[in-house]
């Protein structure tokens, strides 16, 4: 009977044995002291690393060697940005004829380099794919008088320089903008669309009022502080400079459980193995930079509070409207449901803000692709190795295909090749598919609420009033009292900065720490997970973390409720001029006359070319028509068509091939019936043998993605009949 009873775990047995219990307590006590010493030494190394990083002239955390090509300080409108060429690591070769790949890093409190932080990163993926890579970074301090528009113009100048370095490549650079850099390059692309190839914006907020209730706490910040006057105050106290540590502190407040406990406990609990990874990340996270007071005020007033970018209300100093509908490059939006800094509604809401429906997107010849990750956090979008190996690798590999997708809205789905029934047809580890979506379907992700629009419009009005009062009554006094020296001391005493300085070798109290740590490493006595006290430590840590998480949820719910109650008051809205439907903040900009004329002229040009061309146009139009009938498509057919076309027409450049694909896509979108009816006319003059060869070629291309579905097969049968009709009559 006793033999049938389960054996208790070792931790329980140690409690039953008084001698074992005492031994476990002693072992845990010694292990915890050793871990505490090693943890303190890691904090000391972190502080030293922080100070060394700040003292560098051009600090960054790039994991690749790079050379500066163009210094933004030498431009007509100087900025603290610079263009660098990323040197491929040993064993990696790049092809200068391939499309250049440019990564722009965010300047949102941290220093540059996160896009190339390690080998499995955006830059690492592109280098291994053979692309010449470039990086747009920045220096710790802005140039005097530098503004957001100056930075946008500098990025355009950098891209023009990249293009000039690759005269043989007809492809415009692919540009990746992370977080804050995402909306910045979108502004640049709206002003100068001709210098951009495909654009990938990762974790970039463009529609700041959007968000799902209960999951977007940062969007309430402006309302709860009374608007942007606080930003102006901090800029004035900084003698015209704004400390990026304030932005970092805002990010940390979003997740107090991780900031105050989990991140530190993870290091303490695994200090023997976790130190290197922790220090590598802290080198970037603690690399605080400074923004100009003008820059941050522009950002907060026009984007965070005013939401003017996604509604085409921004106008440059020289009178140019920044309208994202001007983009001519495909835009890939990568976001995540686990991101509390840029949730999907803020990353995708600009599509709904600008376009009435999918037909409106097509009329503007705009291709928008979006990918929503299920779980990764904000930093994981551009730091996580698994995300780089999967999503970023697939975006890079399929960028040529994305570049020729027809105008419209698409959602991507990534599946593991080995899990698919057609695995033998897939050359890579994953398959990236594109599914057509409507603006209405996207709305389920955005969850737009008109009553929230009115609340945020009230915040924008109140912000303007409070900022005006601050500038009139308070700003002159603050500016008179603030000096560069007082601003320097304010930055040094910021809590986020002081934590690094106090736990460094510059603090005399830390002198014995490295000596004790070296001794502990030589005589380490780590306990296993079976130690009962170590197990209780883990339980206690989980409880602390859950307590902080519960407090965060209560805080966020209370803040949201307070925001909705205050700014939802009809009287308050009336006082700021928002009473009545006629005065509601307009979300979707109207089509200006010149924009409507451009769309109409473009349609007429395309209609005129329906029957122009020859067999190339007929084959391409046929393939696109058949594939267009599928619910989802991927790049396999494009790659086979591209390869076979290179064999049949070796003189046809890739850029010309893409132009052919794009034009035939658009012709079919505009008038499908007329486009198909013109196929026999395009094949006029071809012999029966040549037409049969074209059909065989089409069949070969379509086979790349497996058997055709019923709908696609019906379309191909219709194409076959059109080709048969084009055959010349047999000689009688």
* DSSP states of 351-400: HHHH-SSHHHHHHTT-EEEEEEESS--TTHHHH-HHHIIIIIHHHHHTHH
Top-ranked range on mean pLDDT: pick from 352-356, 576-580, 594-598, 631-635? 352-356
Is residue 596 predicted with pLDDT exceeding 50? yes
Query: Tokens representing 13?
Result: 């047995």
Q: Is the dihedral of CA 570, 575, 578, 583 positive or negative?
A: positive
- The DSSP H or E segment spanning 257 is helix 256-257
Instruction: Judge whether residue 631 has pLDDT over 60.
Output: no
pLDDT digits 0-9 by tens, 80-110? 999 999 999 988 999 998 999 999 989 988 8
pTM equals 0.88
* pLDDT higher than threshold 90 for residue 379: no
DSSP label at residue 730: P
* Rounded mean pLDDT, 174-203: 95
> Dihedral (C-alpha) 386, 388, 392, 394: value to the nearest 10 degrees?
-60
- How far apart CA 420 and CA 416 sit, in angstroms, is 7
> Percentage of the chain surpassing pLDDT 90?
54
Average pLDDT score over residue span 282-301: 92
Euclidean distance between CA atoms 460 and 451, whole angstroms:
15
C-alpha–C-alpha distance, residues 123 and 103, integer Å: 7
Can you tell me the mean pLDDT for 519-541? 92
Residue 313 in 3-state DSSP?
A: coil
Superfamily of domain 66-209+307-448: Alpha/Beta hydrolase fold, catalytic domain (3.40.50.1820)
What's residue 732's pLDDT? 39
Residue 65: is it exposed, middle or buried by C-beta count within 10 angstroms (0-12/13-18/19+)?
Answer: exposed
Render 110-166 in DSSP notation, one character per residue.
S-S-GGGSSSSSHHHHHHHTT--EEEEEE-SSPPTT--HHHHHHHHHHHHHHHHHT-
Please compute the mean of the pLDDT values over residues 229-249 and round it to a whole number: 95
**What distance, in Å, lies between the first and last C-alpha atoms of the chain?**
100
Exposure string of 45-60, with b = 16+ CB inside 10 Å and e = fewer, is bbbbbbeebbeeeebb
* Mean of all residue pLDDT scores within the chain: 87
- What's the full length of the chain, in residues? 732
- Please compute the mean of the pLDDT values over residues 170-188 and round it to a whole number: 93
As a dihedral over the C-alpha atoms of residue 603, residue 606, residue 607, residue 609, rounded to 10 degrees, the angle is 170
**CB-CB contact of 457 with 584 (8 Å):** yes
Which range among 293-302, 376-385, 594-603, 712-721 has the greatest average pLDDT? 293-302
CA angle 139, 144, 149 (to 5 degrees): 80
Using the predicted structure, report yes or no on whether residue 5 has a pLDDT greater than 50: no
For residue 703, pLDDT beyond 50: yes
Q: Work out the burial of residue 650: count CB atoms within 10 Å of its CB; fewer than 13 is exposed, 13-18 middle, 19 or more buried.
A: exposed
**Most confident of the ranges 335-344, 383-392, 442-451, 473-482:** 473-482
Higher pLDDT among residues 164 and 365, named by residue: 164
- For 220-234, what is each residue's pLDDT tens digit? 999 999 999 999 999
Q: Is the pLDDT of residue 7 over 60?
A: no
Closest CA to 126 of 329, 394, 375: 394
Region 422-451: mean pLDDT is 82
The torsion angle over the Cα atoms of residues 211, 213, 216 and 219, rounded to 10 degrees, is 70
Q: Check whether 641 has a pLDDT greater than 70.
A: no
Q: Give ranges for CATH 3.40.50.1820 in the chain.
A: 66-209+307-448
Instruction: Tell the residue number behind the tokens 């009977």, with chain if given.
Output: 1
Q: In 10 A of CB 646, how many CB atoms?
A: 14
Q: What is the mean pLDDT of residues 539-547?
A: 96
Per-residue pLDDT, 648:
55
- Residue 44 makes CB contacts below 8 A (sequence gap 6+) with 503, 504, 505, 510, 513, 514
The 10s digit of each residue's pLDDT in 648-698 is 566 667 677 777 777 887 788 778 888 888 889 888 888 989 888 888 888
| Greater pLDDT, 24 or 591 | 24
Residue 422: predicted pLDDT: 66
Report how far residue 49's alpha carbon sits from residue 328's, in angstroms, rounded to the nearest whole number.
44
Percent of the chain past pLDDT 70, that is, above it, reads 88
Which residues touch 672 (CB under 8 Å, ≥6 apart)? 625
User: The tokens of 10 are what?
Assistant: 């070792």
pLDDT band at 480 (very low <50, low <70, confident <90, very high): very high
Average pLDDT for residues 415-429, to the nearest whole number? 69
pLDDT class of 6 with cuts at 50, 70, 90: low
Q: What's the whole-number mean pLDDT along residues 367-382?
A: 88
d(CA 212, CA 557): 12
């Amino acid at each position: 009977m006793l033999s049938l009873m389960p054996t208790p775990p070792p931790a329980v047995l140690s409690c039953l044995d008084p001698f074992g219990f005492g031994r476990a307590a002693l072992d845990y006590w010694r292990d915890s002291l050793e871990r505490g010493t090693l943890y303190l030494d890691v904090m000391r190394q972190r502080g030293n690393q922080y100070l060394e990083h700040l003292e560098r002239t051009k600090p960054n955390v790039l994991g690749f060697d790079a050379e500066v090509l163009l210094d933004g300080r030498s431009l007509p409108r100087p900025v603290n940005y610079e263009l660098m060429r990323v040197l491929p690591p040993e064993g990696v070769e790049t092809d200068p004829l391939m499309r250049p790949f440019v990564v722009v890093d965010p300047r949102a409190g941290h220093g540059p380099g996160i896009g190339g932080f390690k080998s499995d990163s955006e830059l690492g993926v592109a280098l291994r794919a053979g692309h010449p890579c470039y990086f747009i970074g920045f220096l710790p301090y802005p140039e005097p008088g530098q503004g957001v528009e100056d930075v946008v113009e500098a990025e355009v100048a950098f891209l023009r320089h990249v293009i000039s370095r690759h005269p043989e490549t007809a492809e415009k650079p692919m540009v990746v903008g992370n977080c804050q850099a995402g909306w910045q390059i979108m502004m640049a692309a709206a002003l100068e669309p001709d210098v951009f190839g495909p654009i990938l914006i990762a974790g970039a907020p463009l529609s700041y009022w959007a968000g799902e209730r209960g999951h977007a706490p940062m969007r309430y910040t402006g309302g709860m502080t009374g608007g942007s006057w606080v930003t102006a105050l901090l800029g004035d106290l900084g003698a015209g400079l704004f400390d990026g540590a304030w932005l970092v502190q805002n990010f940390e407040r979003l997740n107090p459980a991780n900031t105050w406990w989990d991140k530190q406990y993870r290091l303490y609990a695994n200090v023997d193995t976790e130190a290197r990874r922790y220090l590598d990340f802290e080198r970037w996270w603690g690399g605080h930079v400074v923004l100009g007071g003008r820059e941050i005020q522009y950002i907060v007033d026009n984007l965070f509070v005013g939401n003017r970018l996604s509604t085409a209300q921004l106008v440059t100093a020289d009178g140019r409207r920044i309208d994202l509908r001007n983009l001519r490059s495909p835009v890939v939006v990568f976001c995540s449901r686990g991101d509390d800094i840029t949730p999907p509604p803020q990353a995708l809401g600009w599509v709904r803000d600008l376009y009435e429906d999918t037909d409106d997107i097509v009329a503007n010849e705009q291709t928008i692709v979006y990918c929503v990750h299920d779980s990764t956090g904000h930093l994981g979008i551009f730091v996580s190795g698994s995300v780089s190996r999967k999503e970023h690798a697939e975006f890079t590999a399929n960028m040529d295909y994305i570049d020729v997708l027809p105008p419209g809205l698409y959602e991507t789905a990534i599946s593991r090749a080995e899990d698919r029934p057609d695995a033998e047809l897939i050359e890579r580890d994953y398959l990236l598919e594109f599914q057509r979506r409507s603006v209405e379907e996207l709305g389920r992700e955005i969850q737009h609420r008109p009553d929230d629009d009115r609340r945020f419009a009230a915040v924008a009005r109140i912000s303007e009033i409070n900022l005006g009062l601050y500038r009139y009554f308070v700003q002159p006094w603050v500016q008179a009292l603030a000096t560069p020296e007082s601003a320097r001391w304010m930055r040094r005493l910021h809590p986020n900065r002081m934590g690094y300085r106090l736990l460094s070798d510059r603090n005399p109290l830390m002198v014995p720490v490295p000596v004790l740590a070296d001794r502990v490493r030589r005589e380490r006595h780590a306990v296993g997970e079976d130690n009962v006290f170590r197990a209780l430590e883990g339980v206690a840590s989980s409880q602390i973390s859950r307590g902080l998480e519960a407090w965060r949820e209560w805080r966020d719910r209370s803040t949201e409720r307070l925001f909705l109650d205050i700014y939802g008051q009809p009287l308050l809205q009336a006082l700021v001029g928002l009473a009545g439907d006629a005065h509601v903040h307009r979300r979707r900009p109207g089509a200006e006359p010149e924009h409507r004329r451009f769309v109409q002229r473009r349609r007429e040009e395309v209609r005129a070319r329906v029957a122009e061309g020859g067999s190339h146009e007929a084959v391409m139009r046929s393939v696109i028509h058949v594939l267009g009938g599928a619910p989802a498509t991927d790049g396999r057919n494009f790659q086979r068509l591209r390869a076979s076309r290179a064999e049949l027409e070796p003189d046809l450049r890739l850029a010309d091939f893409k132009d052919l694909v794009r034009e035939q896509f658009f012709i079919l979108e505009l008038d499908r019936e007329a486009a198909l009816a013109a196929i026999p006319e395009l094949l006029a003059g071809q012999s029966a043998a040549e037409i049969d060869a074209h059909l065989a070629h089409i069949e070969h291309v379509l086979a790349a993605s497996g058997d055709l579905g019923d709908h696609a097969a019906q379309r191909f049968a219709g194409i076959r009949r059109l080709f048969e009709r084009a055959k010349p009559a047999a000689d009688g």
